[in-house]
Chain A
Amino acid sequence: MTSVVPEEGVPEEEDGLLPVPPSPAYARRQNIVAALIPLALGVITGIMSWSLGVGTLSNPGPGLWPLAVSVAMVVTAAVLVLRSGPTGEEETFTREALIVVVAAVSLVGYALLFERIGFEIPTVALLVLWLKGLGREGWRMTVIISLGTTAVLYLLFVTGLGVSLPHILPF
């Protein structure tokens, strides 16, 4: 967790390099959406819990506890919807957030390929994407780190710890 202590006299960042404090309207909208999602979730799980059977207080059914938690969740989320004023903790989704989207998609792809074609190729591919594509490292750095890391991971997990990772190299 890194937080930045504001320092006087330092010029503001131009290109949105640091987290940008959003406008009040933006923050308010963001807060409302962020509270509506758990609110909706709470309603759904509340209904599901109810149908599981609540039982009585002296002999609680499987649904009683999840129902109680769902109700608490809906109530706090509702409070947050009502008190949606900016708190200063919100951050704008800038174009840097696109990097996060690409990264998250690549991780899903990694998991999809992991068991099918072994871990080596997806690992190299993920490293190249993150180093070169997201990080704009030089090619030399990218190649060295990608191949080196994959070799180290192979030695560590497959050879060293004896974990049966799906792999294609027959050592």
Chain B
Amino acid sequence: MTVIVGYVPNPLGRVALEHAIAEAALRGAPLKILNVSRPGAYVDASTADVEEIKGLVPESVSYDFEQVADEDVAEAVLAAAQASSASLIVIGLRRRSPVGKLIMGSSAQRILLEAGCPVLAVKEPAA
């Protein structure tokens, strides 16, 4: 019974986190923030800063934070969801053309298809 959110340090990630906080409060379920970062470099844009997350989550909300180094984002999110027997996965979904999706493959798509629990896919509010 956990709400798990795949967090990335960008606007889309923050929107996903906001929704996850709301969902966790609504369901009275524990919140787990998962950051999948790309290993092998000194610095990586997808790696979250622990301090930054502290600033994003209201102090009244308790949460669990985990950082995983893995190239395969979908795999890492699915594994973490299974491990914490999640009841909801929250992910951010990029707006992309069908052609773009075809070429790039999509972690979000894999999570949607393979997750064993409901998935909430959040989009970035259009500017």
Contact = CB atoms under 8 A, between A and B. Distances in A.
Interface of A: 15, 17, 135-138
Contacts of B69: 15, 17
B41 to A, nearest CB: 11
A137 B40 CA distance: 10
A140 to B, nearest CB: 8
Identify whether the interface residues of A are mostly helix, strand, loop, or mixed.
loop
Interface of B: 39-40, 69, 71
A41 B39 CA distance: 40
B110 to A, nearest CB: 14
A137 B41 CA distance: 12
Nearest to B42: A2
Contacts of B39: 17
Contact of B40 (A15, A135, A138): A135
Nearest to A136: B71
Closest 5 interchain pairs by CB? A136-B71, A17-B69, A135-B40, A17-B39, A15-B69
Contacts of B40: 135
A15 B76 CA distance: 14
Contacts of A135: 40
7 contacts: A15-B69, A17-B39, A17-B69, A135-B40, A136-B71, A137-B71, A138-B71
A122 B69 CA distance: 31
A135 B69 CA distance: 13
Contacts of B71: 136-138
